[in-house]
Amino acid sequence: MNQSDHQAALAAIVGAANVLTNAADQAAYLTDWRKHYTGRAMAIVRPGSTEEVAAVVRHCATHGIAIVPQGGNTGMAGGATPDTSGQAIVMSLTRMNRIRKLDVTDNSITVEAGCVLATIQQAAINVDRLFPLSLASEGSCTIGGNLSSNAGGTGVLRYGNTRDLCLGLEVVTANGDIIGARADGEVRGLRKDNTGYDLKDLFIGAEGTLGIITAATLKLYPAPRARVTAFAALATPRAALQLLTLAQQRCGATLTAFELISDLAISLVERHYPPHRSPFAVRHPYAVLMEISDHEDEAHATAMLEGLMEQALEDGLIDDAAIAQSLSQSDDLWQLRERVSEAQAMEGKNIKHDISVPISRIADFIETTDALIAAAWPGVCMVNFGHLGDGNLHYNVSPASGETEAAFMAKQGPVNKLVYDSVERFGGSISAEHGLGQLKREEILRYKPATEVALMRTIKAALDPQGIMNPGKVL
């Protein structure tokens, strides 16, 4: 069969309108969000049901055609972009966007893989529940992509990563079998099920290299009665770490977000997203954005945050504080955090490091690594922000003033190596929440023990013996 025979066979499965073959229709699917990778594809295939996904996979397995699964295409590691051979298909799951079931007694929701995260959050709110996964890309990323990259976001310190929010998965395997569905078609989603290896955990975080997630049953939580946000100005990440310990002592499980933002990151948002501005009259090197989710009421949550801020000021941990008095003030503060990535992208290319170290070592890591970078490349800018409460930093590096983008990006390899070697010395991970994709596929070999990489290859070979599932990613 030649390419047009395959395109026709795929059209027979999903409908001709859902097999995109011309360059203009394909363009949006072939470049990643950061515009670091552009690939080519034999076709963009958009199945509308699990059975169609399975039939497409069976066709590809029979003919050895590679499949690149794609959700909202917001990934940061190039995982959803095909290579330049033009031999693979991109399978976009976005037509599979139904909410199949929501059960308030089970506190669970079953959704198809292409469901946009914000849609799931809203469905939960509609029944007075919370789906706590929250990321700046929530308006366009899909739950299939969140699960496949085991996304983190801003609620991890209280609710865990996407993996922790998943009760069950429906998956199409690399030979086209459907697993995870019960005989009546529902996705299994038990709170307890110790019947051998937990297969769903293999597919979570696999970045589409082992199979295709078609639906998931997810945990819901009672909706908090009040969410109150505070913004604190401070001098150093070390002070932020002390504030985290104090906040955890005083607020316990009500502390649901603890984000660090450097002043440079805030300035980028101010420049590109006016009228959002720091609430403080003078500049401070760092800010922390904190959120309390309270099951009493707003007055109780506000009083708790006020008490915390007063003590932090008294103890000299923070230099100033603002507590949002309304939902719109809270949204304004969150924008200062959530817009950083987009503001950085508008500024031009940057070298990203999505890293984690033990929470206790984060201040030492920043001090040490900042000094190493300043010595090696004087003048480059550190746009440092992230999920401090999880030990996860977006330790991004931007060009020195006047430096061309091309000259700066030529340093990517050595900058990455310096940062990742430092992460290694601090006992951390070179990918905290964005995955490996094609971006870190080579680098991981340097930092992950060879026996663990070998075991990953064994799993890959067992589940995808032909290597058709998202080749060139992760491994």
List residues binding ligand 2HG (CB under 6 A): 136, 340-341, 352, 354, 394, 396
DSSP-derived secondary structure letter, 88: S
CB of 41 to ligand 2HG, least distance (A): 26
For the chain, the 3-state helix, strand and coil shares in percent, each to the nearest 5, are 40, 20, 40
Rounded-to-integer distance, Cα 176 and Cα 445, Å: 30
In the set 50, 110, 142, 431, which binds ligand FAD (CB under 6 A)? 142
- The entry of ligand 2HG, ligand FAD, none near residue 111 (CB within 5 to 8 angstroms by kind) is none
Give start and end residues of each alpha helix (H) in 137-236: 143-148, 156-159, 200-203
Q: How many CA atoms lie within 13 A of 242 on its CB side?
A: 13
Q: Residues 18-57 vs ligand FAD: string with x where CB under 6 A?
A: ---------------x------------------------
427 CB burial (10 A radius; 0-12, 13-18, 19+): exposed
DSSP-derived secondary structure letter, 161: -
CB 352 within 8 A of CB 265: no
Q: Which residue is nearest to ligand 2HG (CB)?
A: 341
**The Cα angle at residue 343 between residues 259 and 339, in degrees rounded to 5:** 40
- The entry of ligand FAD, ligand 2HG, none near residue 383 (CB within 5 to 8 angstroms by kind) is none
Q: Which residue is nearest to ligand FAD (CB)?
A: 145
Alpha-carbon distances, residue 47 vs 15, 51, 54, 212, 256 (angstroms): 8, 9, 9, 12, 37
- The entry of ligand 2HG, ligand FAD, none near residue 132 (CB within 5 to 8 angstroms by kind) is none
- The entry of ligand 2HG, ligand FAD, none near residue 470 (CB within 5 to 8 angstroms by kind) is ligand FAD
Which of 97, 230, 231, 208 has the alpha carbon at shortest distance from 150? 208
Nearer CB in complex with ligand 2HG: 175/335:
335
Give start and end residues of each alpha helix (H) in 204-296: 237-251, 263-272
In the set 208, 237, 389, 471, which binds ligand FAD (CB under 6 A)? 208
Q: Which two tokens stand for residue 223?
A: 């909706």
> Which residues are CB-neighbours of 22 under 8 A, at least 6 positions away?
none
- The entry of ligand 2HG, ligand FAD, none near residue 145 (CB within 5 to 8 angstroms by kind) is ligand FAD
Question: To which residue do tokens 């500024």 refer?
Answer: 347
Rounded-to-integer distance, Cα 434 and Cα 232, Å: 27
State which of positions 329-358 bind ligand FAD (CB under 6 A): 341-342
Nearer CB in complex with ligand FAD: 242/344:
344
Alpha-carbon distances, residue 151 vs 74, 135, 137, 142, 222 (angstroms): 11, 8, 11, 11, 22
CB of 263 to ligand FAD, least distance (A): 20
CB 228 within 8 A of CB 298: yes
Nearer CB in complex with ligand FAD: 10/474:
474
Residue 148 touching ligand FAD (CB under 6 A): yes
- The entry of ligand FAD, ligand 2HG, none near residue 394 (CB within 5 to 8 angstroms by kind) is ligand 2HG
Strands 392-398 and 381-387: antiparallel
State which of positions 433-452 bind ligand FAD (CB under 6 A): 433-434, 437
Strands 211-219 and 108-112: antiparallel
- The entry of ligand 2HG, ligand FAD, none near residue 396 (CB within 5 to 8 angstroms by kind) is ligand 2HG
- What single letter denotes the amino acid at residue 366? I
Nearer CB in complex with ligand FAD: 250/441:
441
CB of 133 to ligand 2HG, least distance (A): 12
- The entry of ligand 2HG, ligand FAD, none near residue 352 (CB within 5 to 8 angstroms by kind) is ligand 2HG
Q: Residues 72-111 vs ligand FAD: string with x where CB under 6 A?
A: xxxxx--xx------------x------------------
Nearer CB in complex with ligand 2HG: 59/394:
394
Q: Name the site residues for ligand FAD (rule: CB under 6 A).
A: 33, 68-76, 79-80, 93, 113, 135-137, 141-142, 144-146, 148-149, 151-153, 207-208, 212-213, 341-342, 433-434, 437, 470, 473
